[in-house]
Structure 1
């Protein structure tokens, strides 16, 4: 055998050059360009994609390959081509895959298990988002929720387990699915969900009834709206969009009722504490969600009618403090312009009490009273307002004292403690108020 020594350079030339026949001159050789694999595939099989690699695989083998991928890997793999997207859609449409990846237990006590399940549904949202990218919005939603509507824990009045994770998982899924969609598409999503869950007729029955009659339905509507539509969004504008969509179908009084259902205080047994807002003063944590909702709606919604007259006045004052200067000032000024001096004087006394109780700086209350004073045009009107305020301090102090000297011993202690705080807050407020006037140049 004779060995032929060939350099790597000549090997390269032999690989790139066409094979010449015995009578073919090198000077007349046809020129051949390098081709990519896809070009070679097209030249071999034609332009049709029906003979692609995956079509030549048995469906059982293809299912095994797709079954080895995680949900996130599957979502990436489905984006590589239109053909592969159709393979992935067929695969995730099977009952076997649905049972494996979608139908899960939502009654998990362990916190880590709960977070893992919610993360899994966020990944599913990304998978369905990418697989249905070429479909119109209505068709996308039909395809997706034909699978998810079969899960009892995702639907209203189908799961009665307390602390069920179903709504939170659906919220994580929906947030990932529609992230980046425009407002028109989100309107379609809202309308689709309303039709799917029949939530509007159920909400209508609740908001047109006396608070607390449909306790289970109130809590279920609250959980669905909060966990599916509102809480998943960290962006203020997106959360505002969904809240306005929920309130828009109803008149003002029903909107106020629905706001309390969605954001009012929850009792330990899991029901909305409507009566507690009337009967006793609640801590700021019980009113914080409602205050945030009012601030969220401030730019687009009027707050009139949200705070019903029967509320305990300290709860009204605390909610106004939580809502901040602008809403609190607007609320008080609207009453001042209507001549309701006694009502705003009582509110201001309790705002000062709340500032002392909850640790807010008293300068805030002093500036608030100063701003309200500027609403009145003449000095006699300003004096009348301040006189009403001072009379209300005396009246409120007397009421607390009289309540503390008789009745239940435990209640007496709480009332006496509030009386002491009121006296301290009055002293602190008046010291700051007088100091503000002493600092004025004309003094």
Structure 2
């Protein structure tokens, strides 16, 4: 009887070693990622000349870009040069321009104004980033080609009061050129003047009698202030733009332009040229003008702008359109601070203009009394002017002229023609201020000289 063969333990099974090739298990590949991180996208973009987006149809790319906000698009454009090109092509399309650039600037509430200004700040960031690799001239050309058709951004194109176009344009321009050097900003100024005819429009206004072209004056004021000057919180940048605006003109025209930019503005939207001549204006109406003068004399002085160059402009300011009310001159000098006020008066002292100095000092003392300044400041100012004179005779003449001026101005108040009850009350109040300020000044003055006795 034949012996049965012993069945091996692995009967009906194949060992891995002897398993046929077609039955061997192979490892399945991991599924491809459907989401790529920013770093992976960058690596993918750097690994080829066309980048990750090259594999997508242009229609899909446009769909993606349409879903992005302005800020998101500005970030995407910084990933690679290729993506910058896609973003530039997208924002150059008429559809995108009509949707994102053409805005309504005639709002009825402050929230809408803030929203529009924020939108144009974001647009400034987008255009700054997507033109980063272009030369300055090409950057400006690309930017202005996109915004030059907006009437609210141009001088004398929008007649709607309280339009926020200039403010939006100013925020946009500030965002685009933030961090640019002085040479590049100078090119921006020239480019802007060429596209808006700004210098020609200024020349037309300052060559005419103040107030004759009131609408153009207001347009120049709003454009220069809201587009070039006010958006800058830092004084050096604001100083740069103010000097760029003043530099092309002679001294008399510079004074005229300063008053257009920073002179008192009446409620009806015109510059109060004749208010400075005919009546006393509050210190708030002169504060912006004083700040502009101080800006030109800031510690980061420019070579061509010193105290000596400002004094003639200050002289011209106070006679446009005619000699100002003397209290307005005194108030402007007080607001300009001790250094400029003293220099202005000392310059007159050296030229022998005792009458002018004495009259100004009396009104400066009145301003200190009315506006709440310490009378000690006026006393020290008079003492400084006193030291300018070198001989005892000159010093005596100065004191006599000052004291005589107090009496003369008091008589002038008594002799003012009175045509109504209101004017009579105002004249009496001014006389009381003069007498009170004179008493306070002389008390401080005598105390200064007698305290060491």
TM-score (ref. length: structure 2): 0.86
Instruction: Go from structure 1 to structure 2 and tell me whether the alpha carbon gap of 1:2 and 1:216 turns closer, same or farther (over 3 Å shift).
Output: farther
Which position in structure 1 is the counterpart of 2:7? none
Partner Cα separation in structure 1 for residue 362 and residue 44 of structure 2: 83
CA drift at 1:60:
2.1
Alignment-derived partner of residue 369 in structure 1: 382
Q: Find out whether 1:334 has 2:347 as its counterpart.
A: yes
> Rg: which structure is higher?
2
Change (3 A) 1:80 1:38: closer
For residues 415-430 of structure 1, what are the structure 2 equivalents within 5 Å? 415-430=427-442
- Decide whether the 8 Å contact of 2:125 with 2:175 is kept in 1: yes
Q: Is the 8 A contact 1:149 1:155 kept in 2?
A: yes
In structure 2, the residue matched to 1:31 is: none
Residues 349 and 392 of structure 1 are in contact (CA less than 8 Å); yes or no, is this contact kept in structure 2?
yes
* 8 A Cα contact 1:281 1:315, kept in partner: yes
CA distance in 1, matches of 2:134, 2:121: 20
How do 1:5-404 and structure 2 match up within 5 A? 48-50=48-50, 52-298=51-297, 299=301, 300-301=305-306, 302-303=309-310, 304-306=312-314, 307-309=317-319, 310-403=323-416
Query: Once the 2 structures are TM-superposed, how far is the Cα of residue 219 of structure 1 from its aligned partner?
Result: 0.3
User: How far is the alpha carbon of 1:378 from its aligned partner?
Assistant: 1.6
Cα separation, partners in 2 of 1:369 and 1:2, compared to 1, 3 Å:
farther
Task: For residue 360 of structure 1, give the secondary structure of its aligned residue in structure 2.
Answer: coil
CA contact (8 A) 1:294 1:323 kept: yes
Three-state SS of the structure 2 residue aligned to 1:271 is coil
Change (3 A) 1:151 1:421: same
Q: CA deviation at 1:3?
A: 12
Of 307-316 and 182-191, the range deviating more from structure 2:
307-316
Any stretches of 5+ residues in structure 2 without a counterpart? 1-12, 17-26, 29-38
Distance 1:439 1:98 in 2: 75
1:37: how far off? 5.9
> What is the CA-CA distance between 1:428 and the residue it aligns to?
0.7
Question: 2:193·2:199 contact (CA, 8 Å) conserved in 1?
Answer: yes
- Separation of aligned partners in 2, 1:3 and 1:61: 53
Per-residue Cα deviation, 1:299-327 (whole angstroms, up to 9, x for no partner): 42522133333111111000001110011
TM-score (norm 1): 0.88
Segment of structure 1 superposing worse, 182-191 or 393-402? 393-402
Deviations 1:203-228 (A, max 9, x none): 10111111011110000000000000
Contact 1:403–1:412 (CA<8 Å) still a contact in 2? no
- For structure 1, the residue ranges without an aligned partner over 5 or more in a row are 5-13, 16-35
1:281 counterpart SS class: coil
Post-superposition CA distance 1:331-368 (Å, at most 9, x none): 00000100001101100110110111111111111111
| CA distances 1:190-213 after superposition (whole Å, capped 9, x unpaired) | 000000000111110111111011
Q: Distance in 2 between matches of 1:2 and 1:409?
A: 124
2:424 equivalent among 395, 403, 412: 412
How many residue pairs get aligned? The number is 408
